[in-house]
Amino acid sequence: MQIIRRNFVLKLLALAIAIVGWAYFRFATNPVISARFDQQLSVPIVAANLADGYVAHFPEKEAVVTIATKRGAPPVKPDEIKAVLDLSNRTTGVYNIPLQLVAPTLVVQSLSPASVSLTIERIESRAFPLAVHYRGQRPSGAVVGSVTMQPATVTVHGPTGALGQISTVRVDVPIPGAPGTFDEMVRPRAVDSFGQEIPGLDVTPDLVRVQIQFVPGTGTKGR
């Protein structure tokens, strides 16, 4: 008993220090236990390495990434991570491409979606003659006497699928309330069979000069 009682306080202190030291090296260096929380980020999905003359269509625009953040480490910023679709050596077709994360060294808990379904189309150019589409109620006392468009043909540039939807490329001209001359620069529009403008197409030139002479008449419809 005398041996146990001798320097009892010092021995107890040494034991406490040993326990604290063991706990530090056991838990502080363990990356799983030291993780304090999971950080969830929304990052943009980008296509990379697609050959010139092609375009990729995919509905998902963002990916959700969950990462393990270590204790004491600053939170990861969304602009430090990219979700990339590698489209190397891909041409026209339908694909399912796995997402690749480009980011600092991270412990990724989850990635959604893990892959993206997409369609690749070729970009083409086609020439179309211009048509005039009259808007409004035509007065009975005016008819179209002459129509001049400069140029009369335009070039439409875009994906093959969108080009195939074109019913006509037209300029919209309002009907005047009385005979007169219309002379303006008008933007041509590529429309489908329902008269709706088709998105994703470029028309060149983007403005054409339209000259129309509305003359007195008996209500006979002109062009």
Pair 156, 80 in one domain:
no
d(CA 88, CA 200): 23
Tell which of 87, 113, 139 closes a domain: 113
Question: Pick the residue with more confidence: 4 or 47?
Answer: 47
pLDDT of residue 217: 72
Q: Which domain holds residue 165?
A: 123-216
**7 assigned to some structural domain:** no
Q: Tell me what the pLDDT averaged over the chain comes to.
A: 83
Q: Are residues 93 and 159 in the same domain?
A: no
pLDDT of residue 33: 46
Cis peptide before 74 (omega within 30 of 0): no
**Residue that terminates a domain, selected from 88, 113, 138:** 113
Same domain, 109 and 129: no
Containing 146, the helix (H) or strand (E) segment is strand 142-150
pTM comes to: 0.65
What local confidence, expressed as pLDDT, does residue 92 receive?
94
CB neighbours of residue 1 within 10 Å:
5
Same domain, 98 and 130: no
Q: In the chain, helix, strand, coil percent, each to 5? A: 15, 50, 35
Summarised one tens digit per residue, pLDDT across range 209-218 is 999 998 887 6
Domain count along the chain:
2
pLDDT at residue 16, as a whole number: 61
Based on the fold, state whether residues 107 and 78 are members of the same structural domain: yes
Asked if residue 113 has a cis previous peptide bond (ω within 30° of 0), the answer is yes
Residue 147 has pLDDT above 90, yes or no: yes
How much is the average pLDDT of 7-25?
60
Strand pairing report for 82-86 and 35-48:
parallel
pLDDT digits (tens, 9 = 90+) for 95-140: 999 999 887 677 778 889 999 999 999 999 999 999 999 887 765 5
Q: What percent of the chain has pLDDT over 90?
A: 52
Q: Which residues contact 104 (CB under 8 A, 6 or more apart)?
A: 76, 80
Cα 67 to Cα 108: distance, rounded to the nearest angstrom: 4
> Given 89, 113, 137, which residue is the final one in a domain?
113
Q: Is the pLDDT score of 170 beyond 70?
A: yes
Across residues 47-66, what is the average pLDDT?
A: 92
SS3 161: helix
Q: Average the pLDDT over 82-107 and give the result.
A: 89
CATH number for the domain spanning 102: value is: 2.170.120
In whole angstroms, give the CA distance from residue 31 to residue 36: 10
CATH number for position 161: 2.170.120.40
The residue-averaged pLDDT of 178-184 equals: 90
**How would you label 31-64 residue by residue, b for 16+ Cβ within 10 Å and e otherwise?**
eeeebeeeeebebebebeebeeebbbeeeeeebe
